[in-house]
Amino acid sequence: MSRYPLLDDIELPAQLRELDSAQLPQLADELRQFLIESVSASGGHFAAGLGVVELTVALHYTYNTPDDRLVWDVGHQCYPHKALTGRRDQMASIRKQDGLSGFLKRSESPYDAFGAGHSSTSISAALGMAMAASTQNSQRRVAAIIGDGSMTAGLAYEAMNHAGDVGADLLVVLNDNDMSISKNVGALSQHLTNILAGSLYGSLREHGKQVLGKMPQIRELARRTEEHVKGMVVPGTLFEELGFSYYGPVDGHDVETLADTLAKLRVKKGPQILHVVTQKGKGYPQAEQNPIQYHGVSPFDPAQGVVSSGGKKPATYTSIFSDWLVDMATADDQLIGITPAMKEGSGLVKFAEQFPDRYVDVGIAEQHCITLAAGMATEGLKPVVAIYSTFLQRGYDQLIHDVCIQNLPVLFAIDRAGLVGADGATHTGAFDLSFLSCIPNLMIMAPADENECRQMLTTGYRHSGPAAVRYPRGSGPGVAVDPALTELPLGRAEQVRSGQKIAILSFGSLLTEAQTAADSLNASVWNMRFVKPVDDQAIASAATDHDLLVTIEENSVIGGAGAAVANSLAKQGISANLLHLGLSDDYASHGTPEQVRIDFSLSAEQIVATITARLAEL
């Protein structure tokens, strides 16, 4: 007998829609068990998906996907969706090279209506689809599914404000997994939702509008009375003010009621919002109790849960930053640590515990995060913005307009720079050196090892203007870290190997590969350290004493550190044979960092082969 008698017969949502609604709870139970077994074996995002099993089943049961559009926010919660849309047999390959993406990806499936890896994009994208459907006289329906965390971003409210203004036929499902509902309140709210979503209430409401339309003052009084009454029992007043009809909160784990409510809302006109309350990690006790630990997991035994491997782990660049932040905050009481909702990922946990009054989490609001730091800096504080490279892209205007034009002393600790592995293109920090290098007043550094990372953070923090230190995910080469808060000489590179004919200028994390390649080629190597100001003297020496000048960086070769070297040569009037190695004009796939590095020909062996081929052309 099959362990999944219903799930095994469902390859696509059309088959799901053939079930009786009374069978949906069993299907949800089977899907949740499948996810526990699948993700515990393969690794990946875990708790978020378990929390939306019933919601995913209800959406695909109610909406005619893929003709109707479901737009999932971020993608952490997309695993149940993937399992129900023809990809269940491929789930073991998720986040692995040539396997399924861990996020939504349009090229992967017609059921992935919009690609996503960053948060808070779903409502804007869904509104665009809804407006397109109206323009095309199409009857397809559109729903955006967004979490309460993603609703901290301004982009979500910009989209809702516009949706309310144009009156688009759009459903926003707010997945709230940070509040609980007691049985009494839950029963009351569910009763209210049934009333508000039902046809009787809707027809009475519209008929009342028509009657009162001829009596504007009375109609306004009725409108205000309705809002105040609803505002006393449901938290939807804000959404109503934005032009949405609010329904909820409802139990996000009652799949039959969800399906019934969604069926009623699907046919309604105008913008609607359904507030669904769920529990992250639902159905797996350890994940319910610790959803942060079980947000993303490596393979584990589901009978035991995630178990610490024990022993001392190599220091990561994130942990280097974490220790430095605490040490510098101890030395300087003007330091403020700021993050856009990435306390754990960016290494601010210890800082937040020891300096709670100097720790600021702005939520998923990168633009506000940067301008907030600028405002603090004008008043003599020393903000340190801890942010992923790929998320810094979202605050680019604020970086230029609010920080750098005013030359304010804000330090940007840029984590996950370069290749990140399994998260793929949406999280790869491929462009920061390119988009930062062109900004006046900004000092930019890229460490080659752990100790250098700490020294650069100190250098940037004590700099009189804006500074950025970009460092990769994971551990470095294992260099011992000096606990002193030591600065580096400004704009000075370090020659780490002397050779002949070939000079390799390495920026950041690829120094080990550069040195290995240099050993085979008898090449000279410089650890450049600073991307801006770049060391003109080192570049001139390397160019004039060698036949070939090679730049290496884990960043796009277009406009990156190699371009800074070319600009330096041009400024100095020096002609040189140049070879730029880095990330080519393409997006990174998902896989291990080592695998993806090979995709871009950046292993030591590939570097040797590329340089040898260029030498042969000279």
Q: Are residues 82 and 218 in the same domain?
A: yes
Strand, helix or coil for residue 559: coil
Q: What is the pLDDT of residue 188?
A: 42
Summarised one tens digit per residue, pLDDT across range 320-350 is: 999 999 999 999 999 999 999 899 999 999 9
Domain membership of residue 287 (yes or no) is yes
Out of 269, 297, 325, a domain closes at 297
Say if residues 84 and 58 touch (Cβ distance below 8 Å). Answer: no
* Statement to judge: residues 227 and 292 lie in one domain: yes
Both 584 and 457 in a single domain? no
Q: Give 398's Cβ-side CA count (13 Å radius).
A: 19
Contact predicate 126/103, CB 8 Å: no
Domain contains 70: yes
Q: Residue 426: what pLDDT?
A: 86
Amino acid 182: pLDDT: 34
**Contact present, 478 and 499 (Cβ < 8 Å):** no
pLDDT digits 0-9 by tens, 145-165: 998 888 888 899 999 999 999
Q: Is 184's pLDDT higher than 60?
A: no
Residue 309 pLDDT > 70, yes or no? no
Query: Residue 505's beta-bridge partner residues?
Result: 526, 551
The answer as to whether 484 is a domain residue is no
Per-residue tokens: 300 = 């584990």
Residue 343 annotated to the active site: no
pLDDT, greater one: 213 or 169: 169
190 falls in which pLDDT band (50, 70, 90)?
low
Q: Is 331 within the bounds of a domain?
A: yes
Q: Are residues 454 and 537 in the same domain?
A: no
CB atoms under 10 Å from CB of 567, counted, come to 14
Residue 459 pLDDT > 50, yes or no?
yes
Instruction: State whether 129 and 238 are in the same domain.
Output: yes
Residue 549 β-bridge partners: 503, 578
366 lies in the same domain as 408? yes
Quick one: 423 and 553 in the same domain? no
Beta bridge partners, 104, equal 116
Q: pLDDT tens-digit profile of 356-397?
A: 999 999 988 999 999 999 999 999 999 999 999 999 999 999
Strand 359-361 and strand 335-339: the pairing is parallel
pLDDT-above-70 percentage for the chain: 90
Decide which of 470, 486, 502 is a domain's last residue.
Answer: 470
- Selecting among 88, 280, 473, 532, the annotated active-site residue is 280
- Looking at the fold, whether 419 and 375 belong to one and the same domain comes out as yes
Tell me, what's the pLDDT at 239? 84
Instruction: Tell which of 437, 470, 503 closes a domain.
Output: 470
Calculated CA dihedral for residues 110, 116, 122, 127, nearest 10 degrees: -50
Residue with more model confidence, 250 or 536:
536
Q: Indicate if 463 and 505 belong to the same structural domain.
A: no
SS3 496: strand
180, pLDDT greater than 50: no
Query: Rounded to an integer, what distance in angstroms lies between the CA atom of residue 431 and that of residue 147?
Result: 28
The pLDDT of residue 166 is above 80: yes
What does the pLDDT look like over 195-240, one tens digit per residue?
A: 556 654 455 455 555 545 555 555 555 555 555 545 544 556 778 8
pLDDT in tens, 91-127: 888 888 888 888 899 999 999 999 988 889 999 999 9
Whether 338 and 226 map to the same domain: the answer is no
Residue 588 forms part of a structural domain: yes
- Amino acid making up residue 94: I
CATH number assigned to the domain comprising residue 512: 3.40.50.920
Q: Range of 428's domain?
A: 317-470
Residue 412 inside a domain? The answer is yes
User: Does pLDDT of 1 surpass 70?
Assistant: no
Residues 414 and 446 in one domain: yes
Q: Where are the alpha helices (DSSP H) in 213-341?
A: 216-233, 237-241, 255-266, 285-289, 317-331
Contact 554, 513 (CB under 8 A): no
Quote the pLDDT of residue 204. 46
Residue 486 lies in a domain: no
Average pLDDT over residues 40-53: 89
Ramachandran angles phi, psi of 456, nearest 5°: -70, -40
| pLDDT (tens digit per residue) in 591-606 | 888 899 999 999 999 9
| % of the chain surpassing 90 pLDDT | 71
Residue 512 shares a structural domain with residue 434? no
In a domain, 243, yes or no: yes
Sheet arrangement for strand 494-497: 494-497, 524-527, 502-507, 548-556, 578-583
Give the model's confidence band at 290: pLDDT under 50 very low, under 70 low, under 90 confident, else very high.
Answer: confident
> Which residue matches tokens 């009037």?
573
DSSP string spanning 379-426? TT-EEEEEEEHHHHGGGHHHIIIIIITTT---EEEEES-B--STT-TT
Q: Which of 614, 588, 612, 610 is nearest to 600 (CA)?
A: 588
Q: What is the pLDDT of residue 220?
A: 57
181 pLDDT above the threshold of 50: no
Beta strands in 456-571 (DSSP E): 467-470, 494-497, 502-507, 524-527, 530-532, 548-556
pTM (2 decimals)?
0.87
Helix axes 216-233, 183-197, angle to 10 degrees: 150
pLDDT in tens, 227-282: 554 554 455 677 888 889 999 889 999 999 999 999 999 999 999 999 999 999 89
Out of 54, 366, 450, 553, the active site residue is 366
Q: Is pLDDT of 179 > 50?
A: no
| Number of domains present in the structure of the chain | 3
Average pLDDT, the chain: 89
Which candidate in 394, 416, 473, 597 is catalytic?
394
The CATH number covering residue 366 comes to 3.40.50.970
pLDDT of res. 270: 95
Q: Which residues are CB-neighbours of 40 under 8 A, at least 6 positions away?
A: 46, 297, 299, 300, 301, 302
